[in-house]
Structure 1
Amino acid sequence: MHAPTLAISSAKGRVSDAEWQLRVDLAAAYRLVAHFGWDELIFTHLSVRIPGPEHHFLINPFGTMFEEITASSLVKVDMNGEKVEDNPFPVNPAGFTIHSAIHEAREDAQCVMHTHTTEGVAVSTHCEGLLPISQQSLFPLSDLAYHDYEGIAVREDEKARIVRDLGTANYMILRNHGLLTCAPTIADAFLSMYILQRACEIQVAALAGNRPLTPVPQAIIDKIQGEGNKVTSSKGGMLAWPGLLRKLDRINPGYRD
């Protein structure tokens, strides 16, 4: 069953071609998050920064389900969290705090994704964090940061600590909270989240087996990044993204509205 289109006027033609493409891809990412079961009702958030000196970025219309988000319904905000165009939907304050902090500090982090999946939150509570026990875990472990829980992320002063803890990493586990990925493209951020989520699912399942685990040696973890580029033919997320869009067109079209 296809999700109905939100009753909002189309932004196509009112924004640049570059922004429209980002809107389409981000709306697709939201619907794919819903498809894979990574959403949490209307909460959590994905964002993409629009090219330009203003550092405006797009984020979900707060109050809508992820499977119904469209390119035109995405809310464009400035670095102060103020909407820069007419949109009937509000913005999640916690979403603004986390995403604005990273978009402002990391020029390479055009896309930021944050989830509260059961497995992601479960691993975020493990004292050891993500364990090197699966092939999937090795990609995040080569580029992983942690941020300690400080409560719901609505305080301005936490932004500096999020940025400090993330550093140059592209994966982050927010302790007692969830998962975060960032990347230069939506496709790359989505693939990173897929891999991190799968690593967490495997870890939770492995620990539930109540048997001794076999860790991967550090020397292999250290070289995995180069091998990962070979696996994707140096295309990163773009190797899988077109297929994901075709899948979405079959099961839940309308994100381009």
Structure 2
Amino acid sequence: MTKFPKPARYTQEEWEARVSLAASYRLVAKLGLDDMIYNHISLRIPGEEDAFLLNPYGWLFNEITASSLVKINTKGEIIEDTPNTVNQAAFVIHAAVHGANENSHCVLHTHSDASTAVSGQEAGLLPLSQFAMRFYNRQGIHDYEGVALDAEEQARIIADLGDNPVMLMRNHGIITVGRTVGEAFMLLYYFERAAKIQLAMQAACAGGAKLVIPPHEVCEKAARQFWELKGDILIPGEREWPALLRDLDRSDDGYRA
């Protein structure tokens, strides 16, 4: 018998989606990129055009399980029998992105420190490391409007994100968008690494160091190598995600419940 059998109320497709999404919460927490009970990651449910999963409001990321996730539609309605609720700002942000882009299967939003610090810089993430090259000219920026509680902000979120895989929410945090949970997670990981390196380089400038930024042509070449999957490069998460799940299962497999 499986340690964590699929509850009868879920289809196999929905249960697999729930398990994958729950894993992403545990991994974000494991890397210290969560914000207690706040922030959110959502995932469309295969075969249900208007339904996606969100974390129950009030739960820590390292408490999230597959069965605790809440099914919601793009109108903000909870569409399953559950005692849990969802964060209103989560609905505003995630419903906007899911409703606008059919490829945005997973939408991840955090207040991770380095990405938030970079969000307050005029140019956002600079091409200062190979981690950053993936996002060269491929980051949206959305100006701060206060806590995202107003439905009117959704149109501006959609416009500012555009076709970009990531968007900095100025003075607030970051959104990453993935075709899979693994892709959205790895984009956060790579962006946060790039942001940390940028802050370290900028701090060194106080001691007299000077930044070296490669020319536009080189930055664009590197970005295209990532997004056009040159050489043996794969979609973010395609290699990393199975390894991350193996590691998580060794230490914290309770997300599968």
Q: Shorter-normalised TM-score: what interval?
A: over 0.9
For residue 49 of structure 1, report the CA deviation from its aligned partner: 0.9
Match of 2:195 in 1: 200
- Which structure 1 segments of 5+ residues have no match? 1-8
CA shift for structure 1 position 235 = 4.3
2:222 is equivalent to residue 224 of structure 1: yes
User: Which of 229-238 and 86-95 deviates more?
Assistant: 229-238
Q: CA deviation at 1:20?
A: 0.8
CA contact (8 A) 1:142 1:224 kept: no
The partner residue of 1:214 within 212, 215, 218 is 212
The 3-state SS of whatever aligns with 1:244 is helix
Residue in 2 that maps onto 1:42? 37
1:135 matches 2:133:
no
1:124 partner letter: S
Q: Distance in 2 between matches of 1:252 and 1:98?
A: 29
1:78 is matched with 73
Could you say which residue in structure 1 is the equivalent of 2:177? 182
Structure 2 counterpart of 1:103, from 98, 113, 129: 98
Offset of residue 216 of structure 1: 1.9
1:217 positional shift: 1.5
Q: CA deviation at 1:167?
A: 0.8
TM-score between the two structures when normalised by the length of structure 1: 0.92
Q: Which moved more, 1:206-215 or 1:219-228?
A: 219-228
Q: Return closer, same or farther for 1:155/1:232 CA change in 2, 3 Å cut-off.
A: farther
Q: 1:36 & 1:144 partners in 2: Cα distance?
A: 22
The question of whether the paired residues in 2 share the 8 Å contact of 1:115 and 1:178 is answered with: yes
Superposition RMSD in Å: 1.6
Question: What secondary structure is seen at the aligned counterpart in 1 of 2:176?
Answer: strand
Distance 1:13 1:105, change over 3 A: same
Determine if the alignment matches structure 1 residue 241 to structure 2 residue 241.
yes
Distance 2:24 2:186 in 1: 10
The equivalent residue for 1:3 is: none
1:170 aligns with 2:168: no
Where does residue 151 of structure 2 map in the other structure? 156
> Match for residue 147 of structure 1?
142
Length-normalised TM-score, structure 2: 0.92
Q: Amino acid of the residue matched to residue 14 of structure 1?
A: R
CA–CA distance in 2 between the matches of 1:137 and 1:225? 9
Alignment partners' CA distance in 2, 1:66 and 1:38: 10
Deviates more, 1:233-242 or 1:186-195: 233-242
Q: Which amino acid aligns with 1:217?
A: P
- Tell me if the contact between 1:61 and 1:73 (Cα under 8 Å) persists in the aligned partners: yes
1:12 to partner: Cα distance: 2.6
Does the 8 Å CA contact 1:75/1:89 hold for their aligned counterparts?
yes
Q: How many residues align?
A: 249
Spell out structure 1 runs of 4+ moving beyond 6 A.
none
Amino acid at match of 2:252: N
Q: 3-state SS of the aligned residue for 2:254?
A: coil
Alpha-carbon deviation of 1:236? 3.0
Aligned residue type for 1:114 = H
Return 222-231 or 207-216, whichever deviates more.
Answer: 222-231
Report the alpha carbon displacement of residue 227 of structure 1 after superposing the two structures with TM.
Answer: 2.3
Report the 3-state secondary structure (helix = DSSP H, G, I; strand = E; otherwise coil) of the residue aligned with 1:140.
coil
1:143 partner amino acid: R
Q: Which runs of 5+ in 2 are unaligned?
A: none
Q: Percent identity?
A: 45
Is the Cα contact below 8 Å between 2:15 and 2:66 reproduced in 1?
yes
SS in structure 1 opposite 2:221? helix
Tell me if structure 2 keeps the 8 A contact 1:10–1:72: no
| 1:4 matched residue in structure 2 | none
SS of structure 2 residue aligned to 1:194: helix
* Farther-moved stretch of structure 1 (27-36 vs 226-235): 226-235
